[in-house]
Structure 1
Amino acid sequence: MTSAGLKLDVYLGESMRVAGALAGDAVIECFARHRLEVAALYRGIEGFGLGRRIHTERFADISTDLPLLAEAIDTRDRIEGVLADLDAILDRGLVTLEPSRLSVGDDVHSADFPSGIGAAGRLTIYCGRGAHSGGRASYRAVVELLRREGAGGATVLLGVDGIHDGARRRAGLLSRNVDVPMAIIAVGAPEVLRRVLAGLPAILERPVANLERIAMVKHDGAMREPLPMIEDADEHPPFWMAIRVYTRQGAHADGGAVYTTLTRRLRRAGAAGVTTLRGELGFSSDERPLRDRIATLTGRAPTYTVWVDRPRKVAELWPIVDECTVRHGVVTAAFVPAYRERAGARQSGALTVRDPGDVMREYRARALPIPPPGVA
């Protein structure tokens, strides 16, 4: 099965509670009630939102509310069917929707990327932690395939809760956690990622893949394509943009880790919010992926940072991203046509789902003729 889909992302805090339950648990339970194709809950290592306070795992006194990212993928109709329940659950946190193409099973071998801004693709592949192929972990085999075929980067995110093969799967201290979902996120040229898709049925028994069109703006300091930008009118609902930075934990900028320097500089400059996750395995340069524990000890564990904001703010603060990634990392951009953030009585945006064709027509009509400052 291959069909038009939506990617639903929910950014929240680890200590948030709703109706006596942890908010992350309530969100995944909501996804499970709606029997979504795939969903995962990831624990972050650093970030901030509307409250402006940075939460990080590096300091014990402020690490009690690490960021969480809950992600769900399914067809447009099924994702839209979740929104009312999700809206009733969450009175805080950020929710975004992005258009995609969902492909499941043997159909992944012929799936193609939807139209959209940018010349690159973003491919997310879901599997269980314990899935094996040819005597090795399937996620390792997928990462090796991505590197061999020439993908620009790949990051494996380990879920702590989620939906896989039609059932909810939660990680536990005394469990092998073999069915808890994990995601392999890859970026690169569509023709490269199409070759990877063709090889997935030989690795995964029932592959689930999400395909998105993006702009890969930078790779290891080199500009690959212009940052896409749109005239930021005050229409309702407004457009938003997602800037994603894939790097490694040991990569540095301005005396600190890239993700830490980027988070703090964007916060000081008034960015809407930033979340960073640490991956289990991956690459974003020519380095060979290391085993998970060795990668963490040597600073080569991958990190994945997401910043979502209005286009005018992205244009204003782009020099910060440009400076922090002058030597290392993959930087991508995509429009976010639906965004809603709450913090108590404060709310920004709305979850109005736009047709991808309408988004592209608006972009063609309102694209800025020159890139914003800082872009060559």
Structure 2
Amino acid sequence: MLERGPAKKLVVYVNATQHYQGEPTYEAIVRFLHRHGCAGATVTRAVAGYGASGKLHEAHLFGIADDVPMRIEAVDSAQKIEALLPWIYEMVEHGLIEVQDTEVIKHTMAEKSAKEQQKMKHEKLEGQAKMVRIYIGEDDRWGGEPLYEAIVKKLRMMDIAGATVYRGLMGYGATQRVHRSGWLGLSRDLPIMITVVDTEEKIRRILPILDEMVDEGLVVLSDVEIIKYTHSPEAGSKD
């Protein structure tokens, strides 16, 4: 938790249409700060502005894709901000980065309810359990994103112990059409398998969800015996 007292404020200015590794730069920066434990970050969108190029950028009516300035602001300890700066430099090809002295007066977080705290601690899994295998295609979609990603997110929201996605090299399904990796490994709707293991109670709860999400594919259920299930404490994990 961020302590009261001297701190540093990181401010980054980029344009809305700038991208870093396939996503908007401002989103990439916020994800990076979140992943590395920065106390918080806020993005604000300007209505007009210009930078080193001297070109004026303005937001227009209904202009969703306007190339206007985006401001990302984060506050944390001097040690944390200094450690993250080299990666921020790499991400911001064109823009402005500032580091300013500031002082934390108050930093509070809402107390987690007993229910939330319980959810964060997976029960110890051992003995008899159920395994679900889901076979779908790489090109299958759900709500505008790959179906396998949507399924994994849904399982995580439902507090399922874990899920693993496997990308096949070759396979076929109900249509009998063979899918295989193309020249230079380019995808041709390759087969995807998702495996999920948890208690029977939890697995039974997700089956109706999978039935709704998987329009074309295969979902199978089998008995398994868990020999060992361990996971590192979240606080000690590193990205």
Range class of TM-score, shorter chain = 0.3 to 0.5
TM-score by length of 1: 0.28
TM-score by length of 2: 0.42
Give 1 or 2 for the bigger CA radius of gyration.
2
